[in-house]
Structure 1
Amino acid sequence: MRQTGFFITGTDTGIGKTWATLSLMRALRARGLCVLGMKPVATGGVWREGRWVNKDALALQAAASMAVPYEQVNPYVYEPPVSPHIAAAEAGRPVDIEYIVKIFKGLPAADHVLVEGVGGWAVPLDGRKRVADLALALDLPVILVVGLRLGCLNHALLTQAAMVSSGAEFAGWVANRIEPDFASAGQNIDTLTREFAAPPLAVLPCGGLEPPLVPWRVSCPGPG
C-alpha cells in the first residue's frame, strides 16, 4: 500500500523543520489519525547506548502513534554537524535514496507519514543528488517551513520556485516565529500569503518545551 503524508523542507538549516513536523504530527493525532515521523538523513549525531542517534529523529520517533525502530525513522545519521554530503563522505557511508524509499514503503501502515528533510531544499546528499531528489523519489507533497526573520522572503520565494520547477507538489507553507522580536513578522506573512496565493498552513510560536498544538489548515481524511 502506498504511504501518504508530507515531506517537510525549510528555507535554511535551523529554521524549525522539526518543530513544525512535531506540531503537525500532534495536530493530526488530535484528529484521531495514525501518524508516523521519519528523518531519513541527519547530521550532528550523539553516541547513545552503543550507536549514533539524532535528537530530532528521536523526537519524531517519540511523537509517533506507534512504536517504530529507530533505524526506520533515521536510517542515515552522521556525527559531525555539517552538510550531509560532507559527513557521508567522511564516514564512507553515502546516502542511498533507493534504500530510503524502501524503508519508507516498509513502514507500518499509517494515515500519514511526515518525512523531515535535512537542511534546505537544495542541500547536497552526495556529488549528484540533493534533498529535492529525495522528496521527489518519495513522491510526497512538500510543505515549506519559513523561519520569520530578515531575509526570509528571498529564501522562501527562491525555495518555492525551485520546488515547483522540479515538479514537486507544493502543499503549502508554514510561518515559524524563530525570532520573537522580529517586528516585521506580520508584514512578511502578508507578503508571502500574496506571493504564494495562500495563507500559511499554520503560524508557529517561538520554540518552547513541547510542540505547539495550533490550528493547521491541512486537509486530511479522518480514520476509516
Structure 2
Amino acid sequence: MIYFVTGTDTDCGKTFISSALLCKAASQGRASLGLKPIASGCEETELGLRNSDALSLIAQSTIELDYEQVNPVSFKPAIAPHIAAMQTSVDISPDTVIKHLSPTLSLVNETDFCLVEGAGGWRLPLGEGAFLSQAVQSLSLPVILVVGVKLGCLNHAVLTQEAILADGLEIAGWVGNIVDADTSCIEENLASLHQLMSSPCLGVVPHLSNGSAEEAAKYLTI
C-alpha cells in the first residue's frame, strides 16, 4: 500500500516518523520503501546533490533503488522548493511530480509498504498557483498526517485535516510527535487531538533526544 506523509508544518518530524514507520513495516517482514519527490537544502557530494531526509528514508527501506528514484527533484538552497525551482528554471508542476513518481510507484506491490514524504505542509506551493497536494489528489493516495505536538498544534492539525478531507482524500491515520518536551499540558493536548481528529491514531512518539527510527518505531502501529 502507498501512503503520502504530510505534516502540520515544516518542523513537525515527517522524516523521523516516516523512517520509524518504514522500520516498523520492515520489522513485520514487509517490503518497505520511502520516497522524497522534492527536497531542498541538499548537500553537494561526489555523487551529486544529496538530501538528509531522503537518505534517512533510504536507510530504513528494504527495497533498494537508485538515489534519483527516491529523490528525483533536489535543490541545494534550504529555501521553499518553488522559489529554488524558479531560480534554477526547473519545472516542479504537479504533472512533473507525477511523471517522476509514477515509474517508481509502479514497482510497489499491494503487500509492500510505501511512503511518499512531502515537503513542508499540505499546501506546499509548486509555483504558478499549483500545490504538491494536487499531485497527491491525482494519484489518489491516502494520507498519513504527522502532528508536531507543541503550542498551536491543535489549530494546525484541525486545519490540515479539513484541507485534506476537502480535497477528497482519505486520512489513513495520524501520528503525534512531541517535538517540544516543554509544551504545557501535553496529555491534555493529546486528549484533545484524539477528540478532534477523525482518523485513527497510529501512535504518539515522546520527545526522544537523538532518538533513532528503531526507538520511535516502538511507539507506532501500522
- Indicate conservation of the 8 Å contact 1:153/1:188, yes or no: yes
Partner of 2:212: 210
Q: What is the correspondence of 1:1-224 to structure 2 with a 5 Å cutoff?
A: 4-95=1-92, 96-107=96-107, 109=109, 111-198=112-199, 200-207=201-208, 208-211=210-213, 212-218=216-222
Q: Which runs of 5+ in 2 are unaligned?
A: none
Q: Secondary structure at the match of 1:59?
A: helix
TM-score by length of 1: 0.90
Q: CA deviation at 1:144?
A: 0.6
Identity across the alignment (%) = 38
- Indicate conservation of the 8 Å contact 1:85/1:127, yes or no: no
Structure 1 pair 61/141, CA: closer, same or farther in 2 (3 Å)? same
TM-score by length of 2: 0.91
Partners of 2:33 and 2:104 lie apart in 1 by 10
How many pairs align? 215
Partners of 1:91 and 1:71 lie apart in 2 by 18
Q: Deviations over 1:33-86 (max 9, x none)?
A: 000000000010100114111011011112111321000000001011111111
Q: Deviations over 1:169-200 (max 9, x none)?
A: 11111100101121222111111111124552
- Name the one with the larger strand percent: 2
Structure 1 pair 37/198, CA: closer, same or farther in 2 (3 Å)? closer
Letter in 1 for 2:102: K
Partners of 2:98 and 2:221 lie apart in 1 by 31
Partners of 1:197 and 1:39 lie apart in 2 by 26
Q: Which runs of 5+ in 1 are unaligned?
A: 219-224
Partner of 1:221: none
- Greater alpha carbon shift after TM alignment, 108-117 vs 188-197: 108-117
Q: Secondary structure at the match of 1:125?
A: strand
